[in-house]
Structure 1
Amino acid sequence: MPHSFRLPPLPDLPIVAALPALREALATQPRVVLEAPPGAGKTTVVPLELLAAEWRAPNQKILVLEPRQLAARAAAARLAQLLGEPVGRTVGYRVRLDSQVSVDTRVEVITEGILTRMLQDDPALEDVACVVFDEFHERSLNADLGLALALDAQAVLRPELRILLMSATLEAQRLGQWLPAPVVSSAGFLFPIETHYLDPRRAAALPPKPSERLAELVPGQVRAALAAHEGDVLVFLPGVADLQRIEKKLGDSLLPTTDLHLLHGELPLEAQQAALRPAAAGRRKVILATSIAETSLTIEGVRVVIDGGFARVPRFVPRTGFTTLETVPVAQAAADQRRGRAGRLAPGTCYRLWTEAEHYQLPAHRPPEIQTADLSGLVLELALWGTHDPSSLRWLDVPPVAAVAQARELLVRLGAMTNGRREPILAQNDKAALYSLPFTQITQPTPHGRQLAKLGLPPRLGHLVVRGTDLGHGPAAAALAALLAERDLLRWATPHDPRPLPPDLRLRLEALASSRPPLVGLALHHATLQRVREVARHLQGRSGSKHSASPTQGLTSSPVGLLTALAYPDRLAQREAPDRLRLITGQRVSLKTEDVDPQARFFAVAYLAGTSAAPRATLAAPLDLEELEAGFAEQIITTEEVRYDATAQRVVGRRVRRLGALVLAESVIGQPDAMLVAQALLSYLQESGLSKLNWTASARQLQQRLTFLHQLLGGAEWPAFDDEALLTDLATWLGPHLAGLKSLDQVQRLDLTEPLLARLPGGWAQRQELDRLAPAALEVPSGSQVSLDYSDPTAPVLAVKLQELFGLTETPTVAAGRVPLLLHLLSPGGRPAQVTRDLRSFWEKGYFEVRKDLKGKYPKHPWPDKPMDHIPTKLTKKRLGAA
C-alpha cells in the first residue's frame, strides 16, 4: 500500500550515490548486505530511505539496531533533526531503562538486545517492515543472536520481512555469500589522515604493562597534539580506570580554553552528550574515550586521534565457568575505525602509540563475541525460541559446543531449564536410523526461566532478583543485582592508589544505603551510585517486588551472602586457609578472608580475576551454615566416608554432610561398614602401589610366571599380570580377599598366591596348565627340584650347579618345549661359571675351559673327562663314593 512519507533533503554524503542500488535490491530481495566505510553516512541516511520504500506498509516500522546506547540515542537525534522533528515522533529510540517513542514512531533505533525481546514476544514481527543491523562487523553476541532469530522468523513466518546488514569492513562479501544476499557497496569519504607511529627506541624503553605504558605516553602526546594541531583531540584507551588515570595525570596542565571530557557507556546521559557536542567558540576539547567511540558516532570537531592501541574484552573459560576482562592489543580493523575518526570532517592526524612493525603483527579482526563469551543468556533465549540444538539455526559462527554445554548446566542449576531427557536426533524422520544416531540432551525452559528472560539481565542476576524477591528480600536483591551489573561504585580517595578495593560486597550495599563511603580512605563514584539506584528501582518494578518507602531501606540488614549465592551457586566457598577458599566445584581461589569476615567459614564469591590457573576473588560476601542449609537443602548429601589413615595406620570412618566440595559437618563412625573398610584399604593401595602388599618369593615368582605366559601366548586366556595391570584391576582380584580386614597390617599378612591364581579365567584346569607350561621348579638329573627364575619373561632361567646336570645332553625347556631355558651353570660355590642355552655344546667345548679354571679351587668335587656319561650329583667325590 503506498504511503505519504516523503524523504527530506538528504545531506551530501557518499552513501547517497548507493541508494538506487540499495532501493532496487530491497525491492526484490528479502536480505541485503550494505558495505559502507566509516563516514559514508549509512546510519544517517539509510533508515530514512527505507521509510519511503514502497514495500513498507504505512503502519510498519523500520528497526535500526545499534551496538551501544550512546550510538542509539545519537542516531535517533540525527535522524529526527533531518526530519525537523523532536525525537519520539517519527523517529524514536529504545534502550535499557530509557525510551522515547510514540504511536507515530516509524523508525525505532534500538540496542541489539531489545530485538531478541521483541522477537520472543512477537516472532513474526508483524508491525516491522525491515530490521537493520548497523555496524554488524562488530559481531556482538546480541547481534548474532538477533540475526539468527530474525532469519528463522523470516524463513518460517515472515518471508516478506526485510533484513539489512550494514558493515563497514570487507567482511561484507563473506556475509553476502553466507546469507545468501546481494551486496551493495558504497564509497566512503575520509579527508586525508596523516598517521604517526611510535619510535622503536621509545617503545623499547616503555614498561610492558598496558596501564603503565599508557600512563607514561598519553599525557605528553595529548599536550604535544594540542600544541601542533588545530581542532579537538580524541584519545582511545582500553577501560574506565585508564580514562580516570589519564584524566588525573593531565590535571591542570591543559590550557584554560581546553575542556576535558570522558566518554564511556557508564556515564550519565548528560555527560555523554557533553562529550559529543561541538566545542563552544574559542574553546577546544580533549575526549578520553573507550572503544565506545570507534563506530556509529561522529564527534564534531575532532581533528586528532591518539590511539593507545588496547581494548578491554571479556574472556569466558568454559572449563571453569569464569569470565574475566582482559586488556589486549587492538585489532587492525578496529585501529582503522579509530583512525578514521580524525578525517570525518576535515584533514586530520592519527598518533598510534605502537611501532609500525608492531602494527603488522596485530590480528586482522578481533574474534566475534560468540566465540569468547558466556552463552547462558543466549542458550536460555534459544530454549524460549524452541531451539534445543543451536546448530539448527543459521549462524555466521556456530556457538562453541563447550560453552553451550557450560551454559546449559548453569541454567539447569538455576532452575531456568529442566534436566531434560535423552532422545535420539533423527535426520529427516528416518526411523530406520533410530538406533544408530547419537543422543542429545533435550531441555525445556521452565516458568522460572521465562521470568528471568523478561528481566533483561544475565540469567545469574535475574535468578538473584526473582528468588530474592520470593524470599522476602526484593529491594536488597534488586540492589545487589544492580551493583553486580554495573561498575564498582567504590574507589580509593587517594588517586593512583595501587591496592585492590576491599572485596566485601556488604560495603557496597552500605554505601548504596547511606550515600557515604563505608570506610575511611574510600570514596564513591556518584554517577555510578545514581545509575545503580536507577537500575535497582527498575528491577524492583519488573520483578513485582513491593516498593519500600525508600529503595535502600533494609539493605544493610539483608542476607547479602545468601543473595549472592543465589546468583553464583557454583561459587559457594569454604575457608581453607586465611588466604584461600575452596569453591563448591573443588577449585581453589585466593581471598584474604580477614578483608571480608575473619570469623566466617563460608562465602559466596561474585567476581573472580586473575588467571584460570590462579584465580582470586574480588567480590564476595560471608554466609553462615544455617543459610547454606536453608538455601541449598536439596543439594546437601550425607555420606559415610572411610579411608586409611597412614599416620594412625588404621582405617578411620566419618559421617560427612557435604554441599559439593564444601564440608558442612562431620562426625566419627565407631564401626564403619565392612565394605567401606575394604574399599578404603583398596583406595590406599591404589594410591601407594603394590609394594605395600606381601610379596613373598613364591608370590613374586607366580606373578612372573603368569607374565611369561602372557607375553608368550597372550589373548584373553592369559591376561597381563605386570604391576600396572594388577594395580588397574586391584578391586577385582584383591578386593574379595579384603573382606573382614581392618588394617594394613592384616593386609600385609595376606598370601597373594590364591588372589593371583583366582584372576585366571580358566579356573582349576588353567592352574594345572600353568604348572605344565611354566612350572615353578624343575627336577634336574641329580634329583634336585630347582626353582626357575622368570623375572625376564623373554628368557626364563635355570640356575643349577653344573655337576647336577652330568649326563644331560639337551637343554631343558618350558612352555611345552617351545622356550629353552637360559642355563646359569654354577660352580660348587654357587657362583655362575657359564651361561648358555646350548648344553650339548657346553659339554663338548666350554666345560673343559671351566674345569681348568675351577678344578684346582674345588678339588673335592668331581670333574670327569666325559661329563655327558658321568653320574649327576650334588655331592663331593668322597660322599659320592660313600653313597
Structure 2
Amino acid sequence: MLPIEEVFPKLVKQLEHHETVLLQAPPGAGKSTWLPLNLMKSGQYQRIVMLEPRRLAARNIARYLASQIGEPLGQSIGLRIRQEVKVSAQTRLEIVTEGMLTRMIQQDPELTGIDLLIFDEFHERSLSADTALAFALETQAALRDDLKILVMSATLDSERYQAFLQCPIICSEGRSFPITHKYVPLKDESQWLMQIAPVVRQAIQEESGSILVFLPGQKEIRQVANTLHSAFEGEPSIHIAALFGEQDKSAQQAAIAPAPIGGRKIVLTTNVAETSLTIEGIRIVIDSGKRRAAVFNLKTGVTELKTVSISRASAVQRAGRAGRIASGVVYRLGSQALFERRDAHDKPDILSSDISGLVLESKVWGTQVSELPLLDMPSEAQLKQAQQLLMNLEALDNQGKLQPLGQQMQRLGSEPRFAHMLLKVKSLETELPGITLLACYFMALQDSRVKSVPELSLALGQMHHNAPAAFTKQLKYWCKRADISHQSDDLAVEHLAVVVALAYPDRLAKKRGNGFVLANGAGVNAHSEFWQSAPYLAIAELGGHQGQSIFSATAFEPDELADILPYLFSQKTVCEFDQKQAQFLHQDRVYLGQWIFSAKPSKSPLDEVARTQAWCSIITENGLSIFTGYSDCAQFMIRMQLAAKYYPEEFPASREEDLTAELSQWLEPFLSEVKQFSQLKKLDLKNALLTRLDWQKQQRLNALLPERIAVPSGSQIRVQYQLAGPARLAVKMQEVFGMLQSPLLCEGNVPVLMELLSPAQRPLQLTQDLAHFWQSSYKEVQKEMKGRYPKHYWPDDPATAQATNKVKSRM
C-alpha cells in the first residue's frame, strides 16, 4: 500500500469543499502516479490535466499510467509535450509540460471540459509552472469557480505556499524505507569532480544494488563515465549508463531500465532524475551537491549556465531516490556542516531568468505582470529588460502596447526570439529565397547543441553536408513547424545575418577597442581566433564569465539589414559637446540599438535649446565639479542639504544628484548665452543655486545655518559645515573669553565644535563645552601660552574675562 492511499479519502473530501488544495508528500508516496490515476478512476472529474516540469518525467509517467490500465498512450491517458502530442476525445487524464498548460489556458480561458488541474513537483518553480498557476488562479476566480487546483510537491515551503494560496494543506508520509546518510568531506572543494569516481568505487564495495550519481551536466557525466569505464573495464557485471534531458528516448529508456540479472548499474544523471522518476534497482545515491543553474545577466541579456550548490530541499529530493524500492544509502560530497549551511530552497526561475515570455503572455492575457497572482514578483530591472526586448522584436510598440505580431508570436508557442524569427522569415521568403530553411537550420543548431565551429556559416554548412542524428531530428521538427521540406541542395547562408538579427537584435555588435559593443549597450570580448578584422558581428550565442565571450556569430554589414529590417534602425539629430575636440557636434545620426551606425553634419541650424541641452548633458555626466567656482560653493551646498534634511517641507532636496536631475529648473536660464566651454566653467554657480530659494528662504537659511558667527571679540568667524557631525568653528582662544557655551545652530539640530587656536593660528583645544574647558584644561594651556606668547592676554578667569583680538598693549 502506497502512503498516498492513506490520505486519499481526506484529499478527495478537501477537493470537494475547497477550490484549491496543497499536498505535501515525500518521494515514493505515489503522488505522481497512483494519485492522478485514482482521481481519474473516481469518476468525479470529467478531465484532469497534470503539469509535470520535465519532459522525461512527463513521458514516463504517462506511459506508466497507460500501461496500468492496459491501454495505449493517447486514449484515457494523454501526453502533450514539445514534439510529441498523444491525446484523443477519450482522454481523461492528460500529462502536459513546459508552456503547454499556459497555451491551453490562453486558447480557452474557461478551460472547457477540464475539472481539475494538478501542478506536480511545484517546488521546482519553473517559470512555466508559475505562469500557468497564475493564469489558472485567475480563471478560477473570474470564470470557473468550479475548477479545482491541486498543488503538490515533496519539499514544499509549506507555510509560505499555504499563505499564498489560502487553502488547506494535506501531508502524506513517503515510503518507509530508511535511508542512511554518509558525508564525504573534501580537502579541496574545487576538486569535487575528481572525488566522484572514488566514491562510486567505495559504494560498490560497501553496498549492494545499483547506483544513481547526480552531476551538474553532460560535460561532467562524460568525464566521470570515462573514468569509470577504465576503472571497471574487467568487470562485466558493472553497467554504466547516462541519463539527461537532451538524450533520445531510446537512450533514456535504456538508462531507466533495470540492470541485467546478476549485474549492477551505475546511472550518471543530471537533476532530471531528481523528481517523479523511478529508476529500477537504485538503492544507492551519490550526490555531488551541484547543479547547472541558468542565471540571466541583465546587462548583456544573456542566460549563463553556472555550476552552483543545490539547496537542502533538492538534496532531500535526490536522497529520496535511494529509498524507493528498499532501504538505501546516500553519499553526499562535502561535510555535514557544509550541507547544513546550504540554502533551504533553490532560487525560483522567475527571479533569475529572462522573463520576456512571461511579459508577452501577460500582455496577451490582458494584464500586467505586476497584477498577476505570482508567488514571487520579478524585479523592475527584469521587467524593463524584457519589455525592451519585446519592443526590439516588434511584439510591443514604444509605449508597451501589444502588437498583432506579438499576438502571433504568443500563439506560435516558442520563446519570443525564435517565434519572431520564424514569423518574419516566412514573410521574407519571396524577397530572400531560402531564408526560411536557413532559419530552421539555425534553430536546429541551437536546439540540438551539437559541437560546431564558432563561425555560423561554416557550422551550418557542416550540418548541411554531414549532420548528426540529433541535429537532423531538430531540423525535421522546425521544418515541419515552418511547413517546408528539410531537404535542399543549397543553403542560403548569405541571409544568415538577417536570421540572427531577427532572433537576437540586441546582439548585433560593432567593433570597439579590443572587443565589441552590443546593440543593447553592453560590451563583450573579441574571439581569440575568429573575426579578428570584422567591424560588425551578428552574435547568436554568448556565455562564459558574465556572458562576455562569443561562442557563435557571423560577420555582417549593417547596410545588409537597413533595407530588409528598417525597424532596427533609428534616426536622431544630436547636439553634444566633444571635450576632446573642444567643439560642438551637431549631427544627424543613424543608430542600430545604442551604437552609432552613421553620422553626418546636421543641415538644421544649431539652436539655443539644443546647445543648452548639450551643456546640461556635459554637466550631468561630469558633475558640478566642472565649474571653477564649485569649491567655493561646497559649503553653501552643504548648508542647503542640512536645511533640506531638517526642514524638508521648507527646503528642496539639494544633494548633487538632486541638483543635476533638476538642471532645467535652476541652471538652464544661465546657459542660454554660453557658447564656449571656457565660459561654462566660469559660470557663477552659487548665484544659479540661489535661484532655487526665494528671498524669504534665503533669509531663513542664513538664520538657521549662517555662513559666519559673531564671537565676543566682535569678529565674524566663518563656520565649516559637514553633512554628518557637528559644524566646526576655528577661532583664536582670546576672542571667546567670557563665552560659556558653544553655539547651537539650526534650532539646536547642528552643534558646533570649537577649535580654539593660538595667536599663531595653531590648534590648542577641541571642545563642545567651553565652560568645562575654562574650569579644567585651560590652566595648563595658560601656563604654556604665557611663556610662548607673553604679549597676549591670558587671564586667570577666562570665563569672565574680556574677549579681544588685540595684544595686551592695545587693549
TM-score range, shorter chain: 0.7 to 0.9
Instruction: Identify which of 308, 316, 324 aligns with 1:328.
Output: 308
- What is the RMSD computed on CA atoms of the aligned residues? 4.6
Counterpart code for 2:260:
A
Counterpart code for 2:538:
A
- Aligned partner of 2:770 in structure 1 is none
What per-residue deviation string (whole Å, max 9, x for no partner) do you get for residues 730-780 of structure 1? Answer: 8888877777776556778x89699879969999xx9xxx9xxx9xxxxxx
What per-residue deviation string (whole Å, max 9, x for no partner) do you get for residues 678-731 of structure 1? Answer: 766676677778898788xxx999x89999999999999999999999999988
**What secondary structure is seen at the aligned counterpart in 2 of 1:282?**
coil
**Inter-CA distance 643–307: structure 2 relative to 1 (3 Å threshold):** same
**Inter-CA distance 742–534: structure 2 relative to 1 (3 Å threshold):** same
Task: Work out whether 1:55 is the aligned partner of 2:16.
Answer: no
How does 1:346-495 map onto structure 2 within 5 Å? 346-391=326-371, 393-420=372-399, 443-472=400-429, 473-484=435-446, 486=447, 488-490=449-451
Comparing 594-603 with 679-688, greater Cα deviation is found at: 679-688
- Aligned partner of 2:776 in structure 1 is none
**What secondary structure is seen at the aligned counterpart in 1 of 2:145?**
coil
Q: Is the contact made by 2:670 and 2:688 (CA closer than 8 Å) also made in structure 1? A: no
Comparing 728-737 with 39-48, greater Cα deviation is found at: 728-737
Distance in structure 2 (CA, Å) of the matches to 1:457 and 1:150 = 20
- Aligned partner of 1:661 in structure 2 is 594
**Inter-CA distance 360–207: structure 2 relative to 1 (3 Å threshold):** closer
- Aligned partner of 1:249 in structure 2 is 227
What per-residue deviation string (whole Å, max 9, x for no partner) do you get for residues 191-234 of structure 1? Answer: 22222111x4xx12x252xxx421x1112222332233322111
Deviation at 1:792, TM superposition (A): 8.3
- Aligned partner of 1:870 in structure 2 is none
**What secondary structure is seen at the aligned counterpart in 1 of 2:22?**
strand
Deviation at 1:78, TM superposition (A): 1.3
**Inter-CA distance 457–178: structure 2 relative to 1 (3 Å threshold):** same
Task: Work out whether 1:606 is the aligned partner of 2:606.
Answer: no
Q: Where does the alignment leave 5 or more consecutive residues of structure 1 unmatched?
A: 1-11, 421-442, 492-501, 517-525, 542-546, 775-787, 798-824, 827-832, 852-866, 868-883
Instruction: Identify which of 235, 239, 246 aligns with 1:259.
Output: 239
Counterpart code for 1:341:
R
**Inter-CA distance 350–723: structure 2 relative to 1 (3 Å threshold):** closer
Task: Work out whether 1:82 is the aligned partner of 2:68.
Answer: yes
- Aligned partner of 1:238 in structure 2 is 216
What per-residue deviation string (whole Å, max 9, x for no partner) do you get for residues 20-44 of structure 1? Answer: 2223333333322222221111222
Deviation at 1:385, TM superposition (A): 1.8
Q: Is the contact made by 2:793 and 2:808 (CA closer than 8 Å) also made in structure 1? A: no
Q: Is the contact made by 2:25 and 2:173 (CA closer than 8 Å) also made in structure 1? A: yes
Deviation at 1:568, TM superposition (A): 2.0
Distance in structure 2 (CA, Å) of the matches to 1:192 and 1:717 = 70
- Aligned partner of 2:517 in structure 1 is 582
Distance in structure 1 (CA, Å) of the matches to 2:166 and 2:662 = 58
Distance in structure 1 (CA, Å) of the matches to 2:180 and 2:12 = 36
Q: Is the contact made by 1:510 and 1:556 (CA closer than 8 Å) also made in structure 2? A: no
Comparing 121-130 with 649-658, greater Cα deviation is found at: 649-658
Q: Is the contact made by 2:102 and 2:131 (CA closer than 8 Å) also made in structure 1? A: yes
Distance in structure 2 (CA, Å) of the matches to 1:320 and 1:563 = 20
**What secondary structure is seen at the aligned counterpart in 2 of 1:364?**
coil
Task: Work out whether 1:141 is the aligned partner of 2:127.
Answer: yes
- Aligned partner of 1:627 in structure 2 is 560
Task: Work out whether 1:568 is the aligned partner of 2:501.
Answer: no
Distance in structure 2 (CA, Å) of the matches to 1:152 and 1:754 = 57
What per-residue deviation string (whole Å, max 9, x for no partner) do you get for residues 548-601 of structure 1? Answer: 4x44654452422222122222222211024x1112232211122x64423322
How does 1:637-716 map onto structure 2 within 5 Å? 637-646=571-580, 650-651=583-584, 654-667=587-600, 673=606, 675=608
Deviation at 1:122, TM superposition (A): 1.5
Bigger CA radius of gyration: 1
Instruction: Identify which of 522, 529, 533 aligns with 2:475.
Output: 533
Q: Is the contact made by 1:476 and 1:558 (CA closer than 8 Å) also made in structure 2? A: no
- Aligned partner of 2:35 in structure 1 is 46
- Aligned partner of 2:59 in structure 1 is 73
Q: Is the contact made by 2:52 and 2:95 (CA closer than 8 Å) also made in structure 1? A: yes
How does 1:8-407 map onto structure 2 within 5 Å? 12-56=1-45, 60-172=46-158, 174-198=160-184, 200=185, 203-204=186-187, 206-208=188-190, 212-214=191-193, 216-254=194-232, 255-318=235-298, 321-391=301-371, 393-407=372-386
Deviation at 1:96, TM superposition (A): 0.5
**Inter-CA distance 402–727: structure 2 relative to 1 (3 Å threshold):** closer
Distance in structure 1 (CA, Å) of the matches to 2:642 and 2:36 = 82
Deviation at 1:320, TM superposition (A): 5.0
Distance in structure 2 (CA, Å) of the matches to 1:194 and 1:709 = 68
Q: Where does the alignment leave 5 or more consecutive residues of structure 2 unmatched?
A: 430-434, 707-715, 722-726, 731-758, 761-790, 795-799
Deviation at 1:74, TM superposition (A): 0.9
Distance in structure 2 (CA, Å) of the matches to 1:650 and 1:80 = 77
Percent of aligned positions with the same letter in both sequences? 35
What per-residue deviation string (whole Å, max 9, x for no partner) do you get for residues 357-381 of structure 1? Answer: 1111111111222222221111211
**Inter-CA distance 371–729: structure 2 relative to 1 (3 Å threshold):** closer
Distance in structure 1 (CA, Å) of the matches to 2:653 and 2:203 = 77
Counterpart code for 1:512:
M
Distance in structure 1 (CA, Å) of the matches to 2:105 and 2:158 = 25
Deviation at 1:138, TM superposition (A): 1.9
- Aligned partner of 1:811 in structure 2 is none
Distance in structure 2 (CA, Å) of the matches to 1:37 and 1:645 = 66
Deviation at 1:620, TM superposition (A): 2.7
**Inter-CA distance 757–642: structure 2 relative to 1 (3 Å threshold):** closer
Distance in structure 2 (CA, Å) of the matches to 1:487 and 1:659 = 31
- Aligned partner of 1:874 in structure 2 is none
**Inter-CA distance 760–795: structure 2 relative to 1 (3 Å threshold):** farther
Distance in structure 1 (CA, Å) of the matches to 2:397 and 2:637 = 52
Comparing 463-472 with 503-512, greater Cα deviation is found at: 503-512
Counterpart code for 2:366:
G
**Inter-CA distance 531–735: structure 2 relative to 1 (3 Å threshold):** same
TM-score, structure 1 as length reference: 0.71
- Aligned partner of 1:436 in structure 2 is none
Counterpart code for 2:262:
G
Q: Is the contact made by 2:40 and 2:93 (CA closer than 8 Å) also made in structure 1? A: yes
Q: Is the contact made by 1:709 and 1:718 (CA closer than 8 Å) also made in structure 2? A: no
Count of aligned residue pairs for this structure pair: 723
What per-residue deviation string (whole Å, max 9, x for no partner) do you get for residues 636-665 of structure 1? Answer: 21424442444x555565553322331212
Comparing 339-348 with 290-299, greater Cα deviation is found at: 339-348
Distance in structure 2 (CA, Å) of the matches to 1:719 and 1:72 = 61
What per-residue deviation string (whole Å, max 9, x for no partner) do you get for residues 609-639 of structure 1? Answer: 2454x73333333221213423245632142
**Inter-CA distance 672–251: structure 2 relative to 1 (3 Å threshold):** farther
Counterpart code for 1:368:
P
Q: Is the contact made by 2:213 and 2:285 (CA closer than 8 Å) also made in structure 1? A: yes
Deviation at 1:490, TM superposition (A): 0.6
What per-residue deviation string (whole Å, max 9, x for no partner) do you get for residues 228-250 of structure 1? Answer: 33221111001122112222222
**What secondary structure is seen at the aligned counterpart in 1 of 2:32?**
helix
Counterpart code for 1:363:
D
What per-residue deviation string (whole Å, max 9, x for no partner) do you get for residues 438-482 of structure 1? Answer: xxxxx5432212211222211112111111222222122233234
**Inter-CA distance 378–751: structure 2 relative to 1 (3 Å threshold):** closer
Distance in structure 2 (CA, Å) of the matches to 1:379 and 1:76 = 31
**What secondary structure is seen at the aligned counterpart in 1 of 2:291?**
strand
Deviation at 1:47, TM superposition (A): 1.8
